[in-house]
A = this chain, B = another copy of it.
Amino acid sequence: MTQVAAPDSLLAEGLARIAEEIDGAFDALLAVPDDARARLVEAMRYAAIGGGKRLRPLLLASVAEMYGVQREAAIRAGIAIESIHVYSLIHDDLPCMDDDAVRHGKPTLHLAFDEATAVLAGDSLHAFAFEVLSDPATSADPFTRIELVRTLGHASGAQGMAGGQMMDLVAETSEFDLQTVTRLQQLKTGALLGAAVEMGAILGRIPPEGRTHLRGYARDIGLAFQIADDLIDHEGDAAVAGKAVGKDAAAGKETFVSLLGPDRAREQARMLVEQAVGHLAQHGREADLLRAVARYIIERDH
């Protein structure tokens, strides 16, 4: 069975620590140039610094720590995956996509700057992710670096996150069943959460056959995360969420909540989290932070 639950303080410390480290690394790596590109880097910084739960870097760094990886390498890989996440939010918020006005409690990038700058800042963060990963500072071993690139490239493209976003667009005009909604979410959110866990294991030089339980963990928390997101959208408070809520129903999209009802959806998320924790049974206290993250995923309100 599962180990002793991690105390809340472990999670609180983990969240505070990763937030500070990721903000610090973005600040150091995204220096504003003294020419007409200044506005572009300012826009990248506006979107990348000081917002978000940093869940993907936290997952990545927690797995990496379990395997004794140097913290600096984990933070650099965390910057890369967070850059992909942030660019996807910037593009997702555009008027031609979700047309959102608020993100992380402040105006979305295309409102704070302009649409063209938002497109370019997203594209630049996208390239930045691969620049950071391919730099020897992330790992002296080229094989480790190229595996990180390969994992993140696959998870973010048409066969991963972007493919899920496309299904999400189609969902507005189609009647998706539970199986299709599950597939959509496994791509849209699950692929990148899975990549976070996978990248931590790659830094730890764990061979693919040693990552099976971590993949199971990532798959389960990925779905639980999305169900929790659907519940926040269904019943949440926009001020607490830091973004608009009630959007799925307004757009006529099927979600886990619309298909299962809120009670069964909540029960399903709880079950998935327990299953995720179960995948970590071979680990001792060193996996406590991963266990705490799994539980946090359905307890958060934003």
**A interface list, Cβ under 8 A from B:** 33, 35-37, 39-41, 44, 87-88, 91, 94-97, 110, 114-117, 119-120, 122-124, 126-128, 130-131, 133-135, 142-143, 145-147, 149-150, 152-154, 156-160, 162-163, 165-167, 169-171, 174, 176, 180, 183-184, 187
Chain B residues with Cβ below 8 Å from A146 are 134, 142, 145-146, 149
Contact with A180, one of B36, B124, B163 (Cβ below 8 angstroms): B36
Contact with A127, one of B44, B120, B128, B156 (Cβ below 8 angstroms): B156
Q: How far is the CB of A161 from chain B (nearest CB, A)?
A: 8
Q: How far is the CA of A96 from the CA of B93 in the complex (A)?
A: 14
Copies of this chain held together in the complex: 2
Pairwise interchain contact B119-A36, C-beta atoms closer than 8 A: no
Pairwise interchain contact A166-B117, C-beta atoms closer than 8 A: yes
Pairwise interchain contact B126-A166, C-beta atoms closer than 8 A: no
Chain B residues with Cβ below 8 Å from A128 are 153, 157-158
Q: Which residue of B lies closest to A87 (CB)?
A: B123
Chain B residues with Cβ below 8 Å from A157 are 123-124, 127-128, 131
